[in-house]
């Protein structure tokens, strides 16, 4: 397939905010893509060249891109930087420069989708000495054959900045639309359908005929409709719904309810296959080649990650216990979800976001090889870092250091050892366990694990409906520095990729919001060009007017005004501009004048910020224009919440002392490293 077709589609998707139109446009292209190009097209549409779990990444950042764009257009790096500053996007820069230069170098040969994916995949495998140059050549080869629009999307794909609003749900719906019938039941829509040409339509239960009986359609119209299209009368079958293999373009359903049921079945089948094989390229092929039955019978593959069951929030421990007949309570560990796959001697480890972290955890691989008795299996648990001296759990950041480590991994594994708390099994020795109850899955898990205490063990479980016993367990979990507890329904099956009512309920203390000052920001790029796109948050140094950085925030502020209470980036930028006192390299420093209320998931220790702490996933709640800067929260309050959140009251002395020394070092650096 020509890459220009895909670039044209990308251009359309970028300009078209309406979700349904995006879905239809993608479906049209999917229908005309042949099997061999289908996986590549689906990946590129999502801005990827590898499926999500693949270990490799393209690995080209702004600086190298600057050099590449300069080399392939002949403009100096300074010139390109100037254009970049104005346009805020390398994609737009290359498009502009390529259109100016097109007579000389462009249009030498047509690019195919496969060639683009091939070169971009090679980028990820280009390592070692001279790799920068070779990467440059791979990109330049594409850019020199690309038309301006194609060049724009190649560059954006490389930088991971596609921004077309093609999220997972859009791809799922597009696959459903491409390969299965459209279900119509509404009279008006059916009447509109009469104007179609060369379509295959299943007039289920003679719905059109019935309408003509009601004189909504004249006999003449009906005859003309039948002449222009192939209209059959008959039952709705799986095969009939499978448009890709001779089924119908449109199926007329009796009423809204029937239509909803059929649509849901199609969407669920596509989604189910995605949960088990999270690569829409593969799912698209399966839908086209095997239809509904193929999707519904999709099976997981040991070695490739599966979308996991998620937890819902419970309002209180009491309500969580009441929700199930047989509740099992487990500690909610403060680590990272890990999915361990075993096939013979081979082990893979994936995170909940399907990242492959096998290489980073040779110690865990070793434990899994020794302690799992099944020939092949997929088991799950929470991975946690612990202090080798005290054996106490370490906060999530320690584990995060291990997840992101690329070198000296064995050394790091000794400094920050990990422990695995296993809590579920979804596949054991050729058997998918989704339909079994948690109670049964847990017993099967126990049967295949030879535990090593403190390193590789099953998560402790208390089965009780007694609120006193549950509260005792909860308190112990919080005091041990864990997040809270999970209350699980022992009778529930496993539903991959879903937060299901009746499955898992998480109970953790809620955190109060903070009133922080805006003390800096980063100029946005792309759609946010010209606005301050991320805010640097400050917390007051106690009893002073000085502010210390405690996080970056971009969530909760809107690009467009949806309702009157929304705050847009544009409004905020206008508000902040008078207080900017330093503007360099895309970053601004702002005098603390404006206070905002911020919610967040958690407070973490952070060596990167001069407060010594970072708000995890902060989001904007509202402007506190009723508050002066002296009313903004200070570091003492933040530390108090930090201790509460961690249940650190018992270890208060230790935590405070550690916090103070870290912080002292940092505040002296002033300004901090953002
Ligand atoms: P949340 O991320 O707040 O939605 O909570 C769900 C996450 O809690 C899971 O994805 C796991 O990573 C984590 N977790 C910690 N302990 C457990 C446990 N005992 N059972 C299930 N999930 C757990």
Q: How far is the CA of 331 from the centre of ligand 1 (A)?
A: 9
Residues with Cβ within 6 A of ligand 1?
310-311, 330-333, 337, 352, 382, 423, 459, 486, 506
Task: Provide the pLDDT confidence category of residue 658 given band limits of 50, 70 and 90.
Answer: very low
Q: What is the pLDDT of residue 222?
A: 84
Strands, E assignment, 470-579: 484-489, 504-507, 514-523, 532-540, 547-553
Q: What is the pLDDT of residue 167?
A: 84
Q: Which of these, 484, 182, 177, 201, lies nearest to 329 by C-alpha position? A: 484
Q: What is the pLDDT of residue 340?
A: 98
Report the chain's C-alpha Rg in angstroms. 28
Q: What is the pLDDT of residues 604-622, one digit of tens each?
A: 899 889 999 999 888 898 8
* pLDDT surpassing 50 at residue 674: no
Q: What is the pLDDT of residues 508-519, one digit of tens each?
A: 877 788 999 999
Q: What is the pLDDT of residue 113?
A: 94
Distance CA(266)–CA(274), nearest Å, equals 13
Min mean pLDDT across 59-73, 332-346, 375-389, 561-575 is at 59-73
Q: How far is the CA of 4 from the centre of ligand 1 (A)?
A: 44
Q: What is the pLDDT of residues 148-164, one digit of tens each?
A: 999 999 999 998 888 88
CB under 8 A, 24+ apart: contacts of 364-371: 364/338, 364/340, 364/418, 364/420, 364/456, 367/420, 367/452, 367/455, 367/456, 368/340, 368/342, 368/456, 369/342, 369/345, 370/450, 370/452, 371/449, 371/450, 371/451, 371/452, 371/456
Q: What is the pLDDT of residue 498?
A: 76
Q: In terms of C-beta density within 10 A (0-12 exposed, 13-18 middle, 19 or more buried), how is residue 422 classed?
A: buried
Mean pLDDT of the chain: 88
Across 22-26, 58-62, 205-209, the highest mean pLDDT is recorded for 22-26
Min mean pLDDT across 60-74, 634-648, 657-671 is at 657-671
- Which residue CA neighbors atom 18 of ligand 1 most closely? 332
Q: What is the pLDDT of residue 649?
A: 34
Distance CA(160)–CA(314), nearest Å, equals 36
Which residue from 445, 486, 645 has its CB within 8 A of the most atoms of ligand 1, so it is best to mutate? 486
Q: What is the pLDDT of residue 424?
A: 98
DSSP type of residue 545: S
Task: Provide the pLDDT confidence category of residue 108 given band limits of 50, 70 and 90.
Answer: low
DSSP type of residue 535: E
* pLDDT surpassing 70 at residue 660: no
Q: Which of these, 405, 371, 168, 359, lies nearest to 278 by C-alpha position? A: 168
Q: How far is the CA of 43 from the centre of ligand 1 (A)?
A: 29
Q: How far is the CA of 611 from the centre of ligand 1 (A)?
A: 28
Which residue from 307, 313, 330, 332 has its CB within 8 A of the most atoms of ligand 1, so it is best to mutate? 332
Task: Provide the pLDDT confidence category of residue 215 given band limits of 50, 70 and 90.
Answer: low
Q: What is the pLDDT of residues 355-378, one digit of tens each?
A: 999 999 999 999 999 999 999 999
Q: Which of these, 45, 20, 16, 17, lies nearest to 30 by C-alpha position? A: 45
Q: What is the pLDDT of residues 20-42, one digit of tens each?
A: 999 999 999 999 999 999 999 99
Q: What is the pLDDT of residue 589?
A: 95
Domains of the chain: 3-166 (1.10.3260.10), 171-276 (no CATH), 312-341+371-507 (3.30.470.30), 514-636 (2.40.50.140)
DSSP type of residue 465: -
Q: What is the pLDDT of residue 645?
A: 72
Q: Whole-angstrom distance between the N-terminal and C-terminal Cα of the chain?
A: 44
For residue 598, how many other CB atoms are within 10 A of its CB? 25
Distance CA(91)–CA(251), nearest Å, equals 42
Q: What is the pLDDT of residues 618-636, one digit of tens each?
A: 889 888 887 888 889 999 9
For strand 595-599 and strand 230-232, is the pairing parallel, antiparallel, or unpaired?
Answer: unpaired
- Which residue CA neighbors atom 17 of ligand 1 most closely? 332
Min mean pLDDT across 147-161, 451-465, 559-573 is at 559-573
Task: Provide the pLDDT confidence category of residue 650 given band limits of 50, 70 and 90.
Answer: very low
DSSP type of residue 650: G
Q: What is the pLDDT of residues 573-588, one digit of tens each?
A: 999 999 999 998 889 9
Which residue from 311, 339, 458, 488 has its CB within 8 A of the most atoms of ligand 1, so it is best to mutate? 311
Distance CA(179)–CA(534), nearest Å, equals 41
Q: In terms of C-beta density within 10 A (0-12 exposed, 13-18 middle, 19 or more buried), how is residue 649 classed?
A: exposed
Are residues 250 and 184 in contact, defined by beta-carbon separation less than 8 angstroms? yes
Can you tell me the mean pLDDT for 390-408? 87
β-sheet bridge partners, residue 232: 202
Min mean pLDDT across 345-349, 369-373, 557-561, 590-594 is at 557-561
Q: How far is the CA of 386 from the centre of ligand 1 (A)?
A: 18
Q: What is the pLDDT of residue 213?
A: 65
Q: Residue 199: what are its φ and ψ, rounded to 5°? A: -110, 155
Can you tell me the mean pLDDT for 71-84? 86
Q: What is the pLDDT of residue 647?
A: 54
Q: What is the pLDDT of residue 251?
A: 95
**What is the 3-class SS of 346-363, one letter each residue?**
EEEEEECCCCECCCCCHH
Residues forming the active site: 332
Distance CA(364)–CA(349), nearest Å, equals 9
Q: From the alpha carbon of 331, which atom of ligand 1 is closest?
A: 19
Distance CA(56)–CA(126), nearest Å, equals 11
- Which residue CA neighbors atom 8 of ligand 1 most closely? 332
* pLDDT surpassing 80 at residue 385: yes
Q: What is the pLDDT of residues 306-341, one digit of tens each?
A: 999 999 888 789 999 999 999 999 999 988 999 999
DSSP letters spanning 95-144: HHHHHHHHHHHS-SS--BHHHHHHHHHHHHH--STTHHHHHHHHHHHHHH
* pLDDT surpassing 80 at residue 446: yes
């Amino acid at each position: 397939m020509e890459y220009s077709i895909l670039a044209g589609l990308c251009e359309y998707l970028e300009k078209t905010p309406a979700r349904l139109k995006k879905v239809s446009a993608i479906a049209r292209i999917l229908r005309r893509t042949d099997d061999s190009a289908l996986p590549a097209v689906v990946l590129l549409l999502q801005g990827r060249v590898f499926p999500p779990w693949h270990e490799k990444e393209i690995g080209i950042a702004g600086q190298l891109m600057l050099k590449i764009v300069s080399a392939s257009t002949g403009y100096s790096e300074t010139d390109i930087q100037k254009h970049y500053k104005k346009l805020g996007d390398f994609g737009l820069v290359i498009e502009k420069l390529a259109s100016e230069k097109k007579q000389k170098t462009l249009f030498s040969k047509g690019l195919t989708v496969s060639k683009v994916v091939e070169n971009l995949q090679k980028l990820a495998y280009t390592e070692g000495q001279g790799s920068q140059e070779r990467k440059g050549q791979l990109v330049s080869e594409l850019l020199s054959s690309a038309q301006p629009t194609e060049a724009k999307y190649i560059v954006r794909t490389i930088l991971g900045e596609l921004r077309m609003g093609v999220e997972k749900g859009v791809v799922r719906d597009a696959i459903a639309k491409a390969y299965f019938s459209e279900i119509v039941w509404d009279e008006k829509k059916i009447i509109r359908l009469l104007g179609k040409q060369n379509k295959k339509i299943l007039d289920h239960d003679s719905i059109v005929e019935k309408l003509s009986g009601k004189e909504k359609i004249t006999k003449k119209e009906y005859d003309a409709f039948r002449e222009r299209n192939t209209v059959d009368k008959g039952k709705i079958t799986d095969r009939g719904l499978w448009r890709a293999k001779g089924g119908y373009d449109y199926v007329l359903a009796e009423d809204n309810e029937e239509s909803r049921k059929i649509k849901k079945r199609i969407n669920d089948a596509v989604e189910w296959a995605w949960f088990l094989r999270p690569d829409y390229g593969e799912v698209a092929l399966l839908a086209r080649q095997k239809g509904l039955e193929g999707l519904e019978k999709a099976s997981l593959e040991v070695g490739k990650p599966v979308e996991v069951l998620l937890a819902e929030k419970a309002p209180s421990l009491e309500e969580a216990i009441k929700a199930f007949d047989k509740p099992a309570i487990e500690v909610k560990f403060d680590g990272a979800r890990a999915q361990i796959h075993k096939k013979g001697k081979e082990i893979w480890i994936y995170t909940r976001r399907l990242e492959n972290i096998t290489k980073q955890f040779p110690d865990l691989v070793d434990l899994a090889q020794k302690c799992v008795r099944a020939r092949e299996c997929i088991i799950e648990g929470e991975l946690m870092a612990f202090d080798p001296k005290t054996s106490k759990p370490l906060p999530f950041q320690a584990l995060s250091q291990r997840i992101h480590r690329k070198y000296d991994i064995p050394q790091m594994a000794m400094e920050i050892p990990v422990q695995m708390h296993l809590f579920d099994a979804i596949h054991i020795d050729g058997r998918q366990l989704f339909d079994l109850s948690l109670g049964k899955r847990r017993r099967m898990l126990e049967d295949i694990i030879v535990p090593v205490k403190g390193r590789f063990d099953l998560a402790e479980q208390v089965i009780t409906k007694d609120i006193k016993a549950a509260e005792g367990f909860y308190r112990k979990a919080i005091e041990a520095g864990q997040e809270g507890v999970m209350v699980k329904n022992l009778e529930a099956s496993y539903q991959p990729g879903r937060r299901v009512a009746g499955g898992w309920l998480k109970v953790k203390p809620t955190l109060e919001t903070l009133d922080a000052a805006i003390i800096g920001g980063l100029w946005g790029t792309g759609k946010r060009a010209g606005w301050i796109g991320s805010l640097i948050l400050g917390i007051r140094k106690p009893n002073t007017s000085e502010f210390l950085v405690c996080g970056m925030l971009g969530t909760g502020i809107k690009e467009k005004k949806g309702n009157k209470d929304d705050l847009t980036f544009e409004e905020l930028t206008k508000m902040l501009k008078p207080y900017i006192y330093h503007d360099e390299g895309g970053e601004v420093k702002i005098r603390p004048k404006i206070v905002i209320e911020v919610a967040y998931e958690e407070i973490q220790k952070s060596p990167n910020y001069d407060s010594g702490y970072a708000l995890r996933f902060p989001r904007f709640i509202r402007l506190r224009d009723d508050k002066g800067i002296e009313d903004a929260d200070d570091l003492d309050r933040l530390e108090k919440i930090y201790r509460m959140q961690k249940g650190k009251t018992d270890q208060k002395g230790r935590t405070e002392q550690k916090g103070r020394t870290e912080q002292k070092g940092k505040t002296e650096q002033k300004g901090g490293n953002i």
